[in-house]
Structure 1
Amino acid sequence: MMPILAPRFLRALRFTLTGGISLTTLAIITGSVIYPSIFALDGAAVYLGLFVLSAVCYLIFVWVFTRRAPFADGLALRHGLLWGGLLSGLWLIEIMSGNFGDPSLLLIKFLYFGATLAAFILPLFAGLLGGLQTGRSRTGTLIGLWGGLLNGTCACLALVGLGLFFNGKFQHDPQTLREFAHSGAPNLPTYVFGDFLAGGINHLWLVGPALGSLFGTLGGLVGAPLAKQRSPSTRRAA
């Protein structure tokens, strides 16, 4: 029988994702008002379209698919919340160390590259554990998906927030200035906001749910056959 997700976990998932998408939407609208020339940047229409599509899909997943099998798998949802929260923390470490840390310091390099590497490995490990627990690779996919939706939302909100509230700081960054010189953007503040916006949207659709589902599936494909070698009495139902 499929594990039932406790109402508090489901409420937490819905509140977090809906709230995160709403705040990100508000930040993007605010940025578009402050920097109206954002729409003149190359690829702006594509990225904004990706955001709208991703936001709609997120809300459908969290409000509709949580009521239906196989997406309403309680074990996968619970593990997705756990691993998604951990991954959100890792991506925040990567974002903050990369944008505020001194890259010449060994500690900053360790935090940046260590968090990035761990953030890509953990969905694989989470999917492996899910496959081991249920004997189904699908569980790994769902863990990666739900965890990816959560960390994708958090990373996107963080990056868009940086581009909006710390725009002035990054206008003095040497790397930003070099990239702006070849960007064709109408002005530097718009370029800074657009750069962070693009990075956030890539987390929202690609780094979070897409790669999370992929690595979770790979982990599940390894874990499921291993689970079938164990005694059926020790295997959890999916």
Structure 2
Amino acid sequence: MPIKKRRGPLRGAVSPTGKPGIARKHLVDNYSERPDAPDDLLNGHVLYIYLVKCCSSRARTERELLSFLPPASSHPGINNAIKRVVDRTLNTVKRLSDPKQFGTFSSVCSEKFSFGRVDADGVEEMPDCQMEVDLFPSTSTSAQPIPFSGKGNVKSSTVSVAKSPVKTRQISKCTSCRRLHLPVKSMRKKQLEMRKEHGTRIKDMRIAQKKKAAIKMLNQKLREKKYS
């Protein structure tokens, strides 16, 4: 009989005698009470549901958040939104005893949860950046001479060049997933064909071995009958 595997404790479960970690304590102290409106939900509330209530299960967290939303609303990207929040905090920040890393963790927790919403251009909404940037600097012009080397009586002219404003962050769609979809599909198809061919070969070899053993046994019986 096969040996029964011992089932360990549930992933994310906390020992009743152990002390909670820094992340769990911060989430319990600040984000244990869920807000009334879905728009007021922060990443910290999502992490509290994921880590404490749902024992690090993303599927259970998704069901919990969908039950919090109105029945008519549709958020197909909510699972990916949960994964991004977990990756930015629990999977990235490993040492919360460091004040710098704890500050990063708490700042991500204080951001609004996006629910995987998509804007008019098909790009998912991202939380606002908290860094202060001067988006409209002074557009002072400076005269810069542009030399011209060529034939003819043409003098070097001066053109007024205005300083361009600071470029803001632009979010574009990821196209690598679509490019990789067809190659991965063809590789899986080849893998299934190779497994099927390998299974057929093994089956033929077993049949041949059985026939060979049967013929050997018959020859041995005929030999014994001949000399008896």
TM-score w.r.t. the length of structure 2 is 0.26
Largest Rg, 1 or 2: 2
